[in-house]
Each structure stands twice: as structure tokens, then as C-alpha cells.
Structure 1
Amino acid sequence: MTTATARREAPRRFPFPSPGGQNLSLAGALVAVLALFGILNENFLSLSNLQVIAEATTITGLLAIVQTVVIICGGLDISVGSQAGVASVVSAMAFTSAGSNALVGIAAAAGVGVLVGMLNGLVIVYGRVNPTIATLAGLAAYKGLAQLLSDGRAQGYVLNDDVFVFLGRGSVAGLPVMVWILILTALAVHVLLTYTDIGRNLYAIGGNDTAARLAGIGINKYLVSVYALIGVVAALAGVLLTARTGSGQPVSGSEGLELKAITAAALGGAALKGGKGGIGGTLLAVALLGALENGLTVQGINSFWQNVAQGALLVVAVVIQQRRSGERPIGLPA
């Protein structure tokens, strides 16, 4: 088979996942959760509370979107929450140092995001380190970096700046600006994955990296670029965290985001072995997690149970994937 033939065959061997059953199941679960908590509390389905849910899930949604991309190409990033924390601190500190210039703060956060994202990618690709181990190390290192930069305290105050106030608390056409940012990011990534050669190649890499390499796809370049993209979007999430809370947060607000992002991506249909996934399913999963978390809070249920629920949902998502794959369960006879 020639290289040209292999290129033509690659998209056919790694088809995009159909949005059918997976998304319908998620939509049904979301409706059920909304209905249940709506019955238990008459204020749960109020417009103001739904807006609270939407704003609260924006940062998780951004990280879940890029987590979906890296899972599709066979990787994983456990450090996204810590990256957002570093970006949050840097954005506030740069804002203060530049005489309350929001653009400087945002640019500094974006620059840091690119650097830490590329660092993850380079360690994984050229250091030949497993993505889980590499980004687990990044989780600890970036969290420590954020605490070192900030001395473990919230930094700066940005609510006297029109740009940060607009990002964190403004609205356009009745929707919070944060939600618009999530929607536009989701649309851009969806188009990238679905309608471009880049997206096809990412699915090919995750589906069968050997075949992708034989087809002439530069796997190393793609992987480093994907991790750099994660860094940029994590930086955006960090900026929004700063705008929403009013200061740079080294840990508070960003801790635990990696679990939420991975859970949402897995629930949304992203196969942890790569090659399958989509942005629509991820957004539905983010909405489901947000509604569940808010509903438990409204009902006054101990917040620790929210972590239990997230862990249980991640296990359920992986079990469903395993059953659908048809592979033999570990430890059981064929």
C-alpha cells in the first residue's frame, strides 16, 4: 500500500463517533436530574438558578473540552486544574504589576499556559513518559508553582477593572459572557475535530497510532500541539476564575477540576483508549454534573457526597465503555 493510499484510507478506518445513543442517554439523564430536583425544590428550575449552574460549569466545561481532545488522540492530562491555578495567579499578579492593565494580565496567563502545556507535551513525546505519569507530576509541580508565586494566598484585586468585570459578571443577549466563551470554544473545537484534516488525524492517532504513522501523520507534532492547546484553554479558564472570584487563586477554585474534566469527557463518550469522542456529549455531561452538584447543594446535602457522586459517575462511564467495547473483563474467563 502506498503512502497516498494510506492517507486516503485513514479517515475511513477511524470514523467519527455517532452522536446517537450516548448523547440521547445523557440528555435523558439530564432531564431526569432536572425534573427530580425541580420537584424537590421549586426554586431549582428558576431562571436565576439555571444561570448559576451555567456559570458554575463554564470553567469545568472549558477544561472538559480540551480533555476530550487529548483523550481522542490517546492521551490524558491530569494537570489541567493546576494549570488553571497557575494562570489565575499569573493573570492577577501581572495585572497588578502593569498598573491594572487587564490585557497584560490575560496575555501573561496565555503565555504561561502555552509554556506549561508544551512542557507536558515535550516530556510525554520526547521523554517517552506515560501521559498519566507525566501530567500527574505536572499536577503536583504546577500546584506548587502557583503556591510559590502567590505565597499560598489569593493575589491582587481585579473587580475594579472593566475587562475583568465584563468577563466574570457581564452578559450579552441575556447570557453570561462566561457561557458565551464556553459556547464559542466548544464550536471552534467541534469544527476542528469534525471538518478538518487536523481532526481526522487526531482520531487516527488515537485509534491506531501505528497506522497513523504509516500514513505519514506527524504524531509527535500533533501531540505537542494538543498539549499546548490544553495549556492555552486552561489559561483561559484561569483568567475566568480570576474574573469570577476577583483575585488570583493558587488552589481554591481550581483544585479538583481535573477529576471533573475527565469525568465529563468519559461520560460524554470519549474512549479512554483513544479514537472516539465528541464535544456534544462532553457538554451534555458537563451540564449533568453541574445540575447534580447544584441540586445536592440546594438540598443541603453534605458537599463531600458530591465527590462521591463524581467518582461513581467516572466508574460508571468506564464500565459502560468497557462493556460496549466487547473486550474480556480483567480477571474473568473468556
Structure 2
Amino acid sequence: MHSWLRRLPIETYVIVFTVALWIVLSLATPNFLTENNISNIMRQTSIAAIIAIGVMCTIVIAGIDLSVGSVAAFCGVAFAQLCGYGLDLLPAAALTLVAGLGVGMINAVAIGRLGIPAFIVTLAGLQVYRGLALLLAGGMTVGGLPPEVKDFARGTTGLPNLFWAMIAVGIAVHYVLRFTRTGRYMYAMGSNAEAARRQGINTFRITAIAYLMSSGLAALAGLLLVSRLSIASPSMANAYELQAIAAAVVGGASLFGGRGSVLGTVCGAVLFTTMANAAVLLGIDPFWEMVLVGLLIALVVYLDNMQKRRQAGV
């Protein structure tokens, strides 16, 4: 491979592949480039990307968050229950987001203070918060939401409201990562946590910020998912944590830490949403999509590992 190709950011490859896929799909089926289908892709991408952006923040510091799908379900059900108790939308949404941030703080303390591996902490959270969602909902879906809830997801202002929400989240997180001291410390910690600690970086504070961002955005995604579905189900957002990790990794985030971007993560989310949409339109067995996604993740991680070994001269 030419040296200039190696220097291209992985986002470039993902964008090129996604554009090529869109061209193929527009030729293969007349239903792809319809206004309704494109709006559907944008809405689907928005929620997946918001969760993935949060997970990417933990990957940047060489962590992981497997609990985000369950946190989204738990917070979505909690929001619906609060609305059912007669609480106004804004206070209900605010309390739900605070609950999400609380989950992030619990994760940060367990990982940063107690020294429990992030994989174990968030794997436990995956079970705990899904169970709490089931308990809150009594194993049933929660309906009867105010019409304003579903109106937001269905609304458009040039673009779907959900897409604007994703853009706002993306800009905010990109600013933190690229233009603040906290963002620089996150990348430094992901590259070498011990070196970051010796340079005086408060690694617990950085860990807390990363996991607060992850769980907070998962809670926000739960609210938006309830708005889109018009109900809250304890089974919603199932396996979203795997989709989020996939989007971040394919978008250039390194599971070894120290690398990741909002743009790449969003590109990864668009790619996977397009693949899922293509499977439906072309009548392809969705299990093949799962196989392809898994192989793509394995390939990207392998290439990332090879690049690190070349840089280390191994």
C-alpha cells in the first residue's frame, strides 16, 4: 500500500465505503433514495451515534462501557414512569439525565478508586440496569406518554429533530476532546496512563468525566428512543452497546486507547445503519449483517494492532 494511503485517517475509508454503498443501493433498489427512507436512516443513525460517541470517550482513555444499552433502557423506562406519575416533561427529563450521570459516577468510582476492571464493572452494569428496567416496568411496555414526547422525534426542521440532537452532541463532545485540556488529558491517559499520572494528571477525574459522558449520553439516547417509539420498553436498546463499540472502532477509535474521534464514530454509525437498512430493502437475512459487522470489527482491530506493532518496531 502506498505510504500516502497509510497516512489517510480511517474516517476517509469509512466515508468512501459508505458513499460507494449508497451508490450501489440507489442502483439496486428504487426505495433507497426516497425521502422517507433517508429520514428513517437519519433517525436511526442519530440514536446509535449518540450512544457510540459516549462509548468512544471511554475507549479513548483505554476503557470500555458495556452497560450503555441497559442504561438507555433503564432511563427510558424511568422517564416514562415519571411522566405517568404526572411529572412535567422537563423535570422528568432532567431527573432521568441525573440518573444516567449517577450511573456514570458509580462506574468511575468502581474503576478509578476500587481498581475493578472496566470490562467487569460495565458488564455487571449491563445486567443490573436491564434488570432494573424490567422491575420498573413490571416486565411490560410503558405507554400513555404525552403527545409532546413523540412529536419531537417525528418533527423536522429541515432535518429530523433527532439528527439535530446528534449534531449538537457531536459538536459539544468534539469541542471537549479537541480544544480543551480535559480532552488532551483523555488522549494522554489512553496512550499511557502511568505516564499521565506521573505528569500530574488526575486520572480519576479524567476517568469520571469519560464515564459520565458515556452514561449521560446513554440516558439522553434513552429519552430520544422513547420519543421515537412512543413507548418505553425494558427490552429496548438491546445490544446497542455492541453497535456502539463497533461504530467507534470502525470509525478509528483504538481499543488500546489514545485514539478516537466524533466524526469517525458518526461515520461508523452511518455505515452500520446503512447496512441494516440495505438488508431490509434487499431482503437479505439480517444474520448475515451480524456476520459482516463482526468480521469488519475483527479486521479493523487487526489492522490497528499491526499499525501499533510497526510503530513500535516489532
TM-score normalised by length of structure 1:
0.88
Match of 1:321 among 275, 280, 304: 304
Aligned to 1:169: 154
- Number of corresponding residues: 307
Equivalent of 2:230 in 222, 233, 246: 246
Q: Which moved more, 1:37-46 or 1:85-94?
A: 37-46
Deviations 1:266-293, CA, capped at 9 Å, x for gaps: 0011110101111111111111111111
Hey, what's the Cα distance between the residues in 2 that align with 1:115 and 1:313? 34
Q: 1:228 to 1:19 in 2, by over 3 A?
A: farther
Gaps of 5+ in 2: 1-5
Q: 2:68–2:126: 8 Å Cα contact kept in structure 1? A: yes
Letter in 1 for 2:300: A
CA distance in 2, matches of 1:138, 1:51: 33
Give the Cα separation in 2 of the matches to 1:144 and 1:58. Answer: 26
- Is 1:69 matched with 2:57? yes
SS in 1 for 2:115: coil
Query: Within the alignment, does 1:303 sit opposite 2:274 as a pair?
Result: no
**Is the CA contact (8 Å cut-off) linking 1:22 and 1:269 kept in structure 2?**
yes
Gaps of 5+ in 1: 1-17, 329-333
Alignment pair present for 1:260 and 2:243: yes
**Equivalent residue for 1:81, pick from 65, 69, 74:** 69
C-alpha distance in 1 between matches for 2:213 and 2:152: 21
Q: Which has the higher helix share?
A: 2
1:288 matches 2:271: yes
Deviations 1:172-204 (A, max 9, x none): 1x1111000000100110011111111101001
Rounded Cα–Cα distance in structure 1 between residues aligned with 2:47 and 2:144: 20
Runs of 4+ aligned structure 1 residues displaced above 4 Å come to none
Partner residue, 2:3? none
RMSD across aligned C-alpha pairs, in angstroms?
1.7
CA distance in 1, matches of 2:43, 2:221: 12
Name 1:140's counterpart in structure 2. 127
Tell me if structure 2 keeps the 8 A contact 1:166–1:177.
no
8 Å CA contact 1:90–1:108 kept in 2: the answer is: no
Per the alignment, residue 176 of structure 2 pairs with: 192
Counterpart amino acid of residue 285 in structure 1: G
Please report how far the alpha carbon of residue 44 of structure 1 lies from its aligned counterpart in structure 2 after TM superposition. 0.7
Of stretches 56-65 and 223-232 in structure 1, the one that deviates more from structure 2 is 223-232
Could you tell me the TM-score, scaled by structure 2's length? 0.94
